[in-house]
Amino acid sequence: MPQLTHSDLKELLDITLREYEWLRREVDQRVVARSQLINFIGAMAVLASAVGTILLKDERPGLSSVFIAGIGAFFVLAVAYWRTSNKSIIRLGAYLEGLERKINALTGELYGQVTVEWETQREELRQRPSNWLINFGCRLLALHRREPLARPTPFSAFAKEETVAKQ
């Protein structure tokens, strides 16, 4: 099996670090969007409370029922968006965890050092057992993952796959 040169390893590390940086930015953008959603939901709750109070005092039950149903639908959609957003952030985190392993294998090969560990450490904390109520709440809000997710090709397997592809 031909060995990758020092220059090849540095180029591979550079490409992997760029992918890692872009995906970290994507996670940051999704977290900001989720925070904006929370702010919007809070503002809508205040507005809904004010309008609901006015409608209930107006004594038109048909209009109040439609309003309450509309608010309920809005909050159901907001929670669905929240769950979808959390799931995508967790998927990105799982992929970033794999990229960290690949980066660390490359930097270990090049410099003898581990360089990135954030997602790997966060995943270890997420997998620690907690009580059933916290687990249920986290699964309901899609804060924990249930199934294995996509990971990048590990560094050692990558080198073997390239060798097979060249032959």
The string of pLDDT tens digits covering residues 55-79 is 777 776 677 777 778 888 888 888 8
Specify if 93 maps to a domain.
yes
Specify if 90 maps to a domain.
yes
- Count the domains in the chain: 1
Residue 46's identity, in one-letter code, is V
The widest CA-to-CA distance across the chain, in whole angstroms, is: 82
What's the pTM value of the predicted model, to 2 decimals? 0.69
pLDDT band at 28 (very low <50, low <70, confident <90, very high): very high
- The pLDDT score that the predictor gives to residue 2 is 63
pLDDT (mean) for 19-47 = 89
Specify if 1 maps to a domain.
no
Specify if 122 maps to a domain.
yes
Distance CA 55, CA 23 (A): 47
- The pLDDT score that the predictor gives to residue 126 is 66
Specify if 112 maps to a domain.
yes
Q: Is the pLDDT of residue 164 over 70?
A: no
Long-range contacts of 28-34 (CB under 8 A, 24+ apart): 30/85, 30/88, 30/89, 30/92, 31/89, 33/85, 34/82, 34/85, 34/86, 34/89
Specify if 143 maps to a domain.
yes
pLDDT (mean) for 137-144 = 70
144 against 81, higher pLDDT: 81
Give the residue numbers spanning the domain of 129: 6-166
Q: Which residues contact 92 (CB under 8 A, 6 or more apart)?
A: 23, 26, 27, 30
Distance CA 116, CA 60 (A): 61
Q: Is the pLDDT of residue 167 over 80?
A: no
